[in-house]
Chain A
Amino acid sequence: MLHTIKQHNKVAYLILIFAIIAIVPFIINDDYFISVMNQALINGVVVLGLNFITGLTGQMNLGTGGIFALGAYVSALFNVALGLPAWVGLAGAVLMGFLIGMCLGYPSLRIRGVYLSLTTIGFTEIVRLLLNNLVGITGGTQGVQGIAPFRIFSFAVQGHRSNYYFILALLVILSWVSYRIVHSKWGRALKALRDNPDAAESLGINISSVKIMAFTLAAIYGCIGGSLYVHMTGYVNPSMFTIDLSIKYVIMLMVGGIGLVRGNIIGALIVTLLPEALRFMGDYYQLVFYIIVLLGAIFLPDGWLSIVGVLKEKIFTGNSKGKAAKT
């Protein structure tokens, strides 16, 4: 009984968050703000994917930049070079994600911890260097231009507002899928893998297939994010797909609270919007931002929102070792 109530609460939180996001454009009527929000929503899609591998199984994946880049380029080139509609590009990006997941998932069976971070960093760097240098296919540093937007029947998804609701709709669907997976047998298997791989294996969980599945999901979500991004901006070049991008996604995951679907979306929103809020600090905002994130990593490992729980317990029970609720 208690369990189902808790479950309902989680869904209620998610619905509340999406409802707030949906009415934001009516309250803040500013094109620039909405374009930043669009970016935040796309980041939300990517972080939902990263949550499977880094959040649930605890494997450090610093390859999100490369995954995002490949999804973006596949979708862009399907559209520009082959003349296919954006939806086919999106399907191509999903296929690309599937392939990356298989390719990155296999090494993750043998290596873990910092070694996996190094492999994924190597992957991101190779992708970036290839995108820069395979000028014949990717256009090199010039990038790909004139990418068509998504079309729903005869309606082209153009402009900040239509993109906003289009991406939001996809984000709602994808977070529903993600929520269902996290709270399914698969999701519990992933968590078991993080906490104790040996025990998980002895209970009949096939570690290899579960790990590869987590990687594949992460890559598919990342590639969908890339596809949405290029069809929104209509332009892509390799300069943004550095390791810094991968790091930013992990920061979003940490800020939101690792393992929580609603945390992923809140983390993406906070990290994307915070630079705008801290703009008054001028040159110092990045320094301040990173210091806050570092302090958060040390003192609030369950995400910034867990500060509410920590304070509550401190105030009401006087217990200094207060721990926030976990999934």
Chain B
Amino acid sequence: MINSIMQLLVSGLAMGFIYSLVAIEYTLIWNTTGLLNFSHDKLITLGAYVFVGSYSLHLGLPIPLAIVCSLLTLWVFGALMALVIFIPLRKKTSTLFAIMGTILVGKIIVEGIRLLYGTFPMKLTGFLAGTVHIGGTAIATAYIATIFVSILLVAALQFFLHYTKAGKAIRCVSQNQKAASLMGINVNKSIMVTTGISAAICCVIGIMITPIFTTDLNMSNMIGLKGFSAGVVGGFGYLPGAIVGGLIIGIVENLAISILPSVYKDVVSFALLILFLLIRPSGILGKKA
């Protein structure tokens, strides 16, 4: 009993960190552009495909090099996406077109992936496979790696946002675009950098979930949606809130398995999403709107 709860807790923590990263990744874009990136789950899929399909299986690069190459590829892709799509969409007054714009971008990315890599699922065998035994509890290596990488990534992101010039510029843009541009910050360049970082985080998520899921076209649909729940539960548009929300969703939905039938695992996070929007739209850590 205790063993199984430990296992659920660790897997919940690992999935929770993944949801946190998802929430962080779209919160960055939301804060700088005011657009909710509905194509983010497709970017995660793209990251996984670029890593598994192109760099590992096709080119046969060693895994560390493949990871670096995929991150760079997605970074460039994200920056270009900002330049071509997000910056023009930002000027649309109607939220309808902004939302549909990002949704359609996601559709286009998925169709692109389907045409490039085909519909067959891929699997990178041996990457973060196996289990680790801690005090008699078997825990998948992938989960432990996920927890460590997420903590590192969050720390690195905080450092970047608070102690580098580019990071400070991003924070300025997210607080007040007009004032930022008056202070000589290139707003569009900041948006490109942010979207690039966001896409790179998507790639990290994609790489981390390849051992947990098979790499196919629908691998990240659920993760993407639950990332939204995480953001709302923690406090929308607030980075610490994104982390807390992700962890709560991950742990709650994993512990719910021990009470509810496991098929309702996915319902839990959406129920939390609607509940929070109705009762406390600002989330746990968010300020009152």
Instruction: List residues of A whose CB falls within 8 A of some B CB.
Output: 54, 58, 60, 107, 110-111, 113-115, 117-119, 121-123, 125-126, 129-130, 132-133, 247, 250-251, 254, 258, 283-284, 286-287, 290-291, 293-294, 297-298, 301
CB of B259 to closest CB in A, whole Å: 15
CA distance A244 to B267 in the complex (A): 18
Q: Closest residue to B96 on the A side, CB-wise?
A: A60
* B108 contact from A115, A247, A287, Cβ within 8 A: A287
Q: Closest residue to B119 on the A side, CB-wise?
A: A283
- Return chain A residues, CB-CB under 8 Å to B104: 251, 290, 293-294, 297
CB of B242 to closest CB in A, whole Å: 14
CA distance A113 to B101 in the complex (A): 14
Given A114-B36, A291-B108, the answer on whether A107 and B270 have CB atoms closer than 8 Å is no
CA distance A114 to B85 in the complex (A): 18
| A250 near B277: Cβ-Cβ < 8 Å | no
Give residues of chain B (241-289) contacting chain A, Cβ–Cβ below 8 Å. 261, 263-264, 266-267, 270-271, 273-274, 277-278, 281
Interface string of B70-102 (1 = CB under 8 A from A): 000000000000000100110010111101110
| A119 near B103: Cβ-Cβ < 8 Å | no
Interface string of B22-65 (1 = CB under 8 A from A): 00000000000000100000000000000000000000000000
Instruction: List residues of B whose CB falls within 8 A of some A CB.
Output: 36, 85, 88-89, 92, 94-97, 99-101, 103-105, 107-108, 111-112, 114-115, 225, 228-229, 232, 236, 261, 263-264, 266-267, 270-271, 273-274, 277-278, 281
CB of B256 to closest CB in A, whole Å: 13
- Return chain B residues, CB-CB under 8 Å to A54: 96
Given A122-B274, A126-B271, the answer on whether A133 and B263 have CB atoms closer than 8 Å is yes
CA distance A258 to B92 in the complex (A): 15
CB of B232 to closest CB in A, whole Å: 6
Given A130-B267, A290-B108, A298-B88, the answer on whether A115 and B101 have CB atoms closer than 8 Å is no
| A60 near B228: Cβ-Cβ < 8 Å | no
Given A111-B277, A122-B270, the answer on whether A60 and B264 have CB atoms closer than 8 Å is no
| B111 near A287: Cβ-Cβ < 8 Å | yes
- Return chain B residues, CB-CB under 8 Å to A110: 277-278, 281
* A125 contact from B97, B225, B236, Cβ within 8 A: B225
From B101, B264, B273, B278, residue with most partner A Cβ within 10 Å: B273
| A298 near B274: Cβ-Cβ < 8 Å | no
CA distance A254 to B267 in the complex (A): 30
CA distance A110 to B280 in the complex (A): 11
- Listed A/B pairs (29) with beta-carbon separation below 8 Å: A58-B94, A60-B95, A107-B277, A107-B278, A113-B95, A117-B36, A118-B232, A121-B225, A121-B228, A122-B274, A125-B225, A125-B266, A125-B270, A126-B271, A129-B267, A129-B270, A130-B267, A133-B264, A247-B100, A250-B96, A251-B104, A284-B115, A287-B112, A290-B104, A290-B107, A290-B108, A291-B108, A298-B89, A301-B92
4 more CB-based (< 8 A) A-B contacts, given A287-B108, A287-B111, A297-B97: A60-B95, A129-B264, A291-B108, A301-B94
| A114 near B95: Cβ-Cβ < 8 Å | yes
- Return chain A residues, CB-CB under 8 Å to B92: 298, 301
* A119 contact from B97, B111, B277, Cβ within 8 A: B277
From A54, A60, A114, A293, residue with most partner B Cβ within 10 Å: A114
- Return chain A residues, CB-CB under 8 Å to B236: 115
Given A125-B266, A126-B267, A129-B264, the answer on whether A254 and B108 have CB atoms closer than 8 Å is no
CB of A112 to closest CB in B, whole Å: 8
CA distance A125 to B221 in the complex (A): 11
CA distance A250 to B101 in the complex (A): 11
- Return chain B residues, CB-CB under 8 Å to A287: 108, 111-112, 115
CA distance A115 to B225 in the complex (A): 13
- Return chain B residues, CB-CB under 8 Å to A294: 85, 101, 104-105, 108
* B101 contact from A125, A286, A297, Cβ within 8 A: A297
Given A111-B281, A113-B95, the answer on whether A119 and B273 have CB atoms closer than 8 Å is yes
- Return chain B residues, CB-CB under 8 Å to A115: 232, 236, 277, 281
| B111 near A122: Cβ-Cβ < 8 Å | no
